[in-house]
Amino acid sequence: MKACALLSMVSLILLWPASPLAQDPVQVDGVHYKPVLDNASVRVLRALFPAGAKSPMHQHPDSVVIALRDVRARFTMPDGTTQDQNLPSESAYYSPAVTHSTTNTGKAGLNVLVVEFKPPKPGKAVLPPRRTGLDMKVLAEGPRALVYRTTVDPSFHEEAGSTHEFDQIVIGLVPAEVTLAIAGKPARTTWSRGDVVFVPRGQPHESRNTGGTLADFIIVAIR
């Protein structure tokens, strides 16, 4: 009896970590959720749902959701309650950790980016209210990050060797010629809507608007 009890206990311990993994959106619904980037700080998922599509129940840690198209969605919670959400294109919201399923209730395809934060607690970096050469409007704010809709001036230049005490996720909104060179990585020189680049805190980089016109981005600044 003791051997059987011990075997059962070991089996439960081995199975316990797998339960949360079973609700990872990429694992339970890889058709609609695709990883864009994944590192020690964040994972960014692109969620593409045709009209009427629904995901299985899944979970996200604290996250930021950014709409690249108008969103009409219904979230169903584990207890069966529902919440309807309308999110205009190029808007964002901060979401504490949640378990739900998602249904696209709109008539068009749903296209959002989900920025999932990995550290167990928010950081303490000070996020700037403004930056030279950038017109910044706050779209969403939470304990872990600020989300800005940012217009880059044609004269913008962040000099080589620049660093920040916060992580950044830069998301293109329009075709643009803006160089972003991060130490040790190939420079990005052109952008399309939905392109995503991660700039780690403390990492030397250089950025310059080389297109001679205004360029629009979303920047997620992570504490």
For the record, the structure tokens of 73 come out as 């969605």
- Can you give the pTM of this predicted structure? 0.88
Contact assessment for residue 187 and residue 179, using Cβ atoms and an 8 Å cutoff: yes
The pLDDT of residue 130:
87
Mean pLDDT by 10 residues, the chain (223 residues): 43 40 86 98 98 97 98 96 96 97 96 97 91 96 97 97 97 98 94 98 97 98 97
* Alpha carbons 66 and 64: distance in angstroms, whole number: 7
* Alpha carbons 128 and 214: distance in angstroms, whole number: 21
With tokens 């920025």, the residue in question is: 115
For the record, the structure tokens of 178 come out as 């803006």
The pLDDT of residue 14:
40
Using CA atoms, how far residue 76 sits from 46, 59, 100, 189, in Å, is 20, 12, 5, 41
The pLDDT of residue 21:
46
Give the chain's domains with CATH numbers: 23-117 (2.60.120.10), 134-222 (2.60.120.10)
Order across the sheet with 157-162: list the strands.
Answer: 157-162, 205-209, 178-182
Query: What amino acid occupies position 189?
Result: T
The pLDDT of residue 162:
96
The pLDDT of residue 129:
83
The pLDDT of residue 128:
86
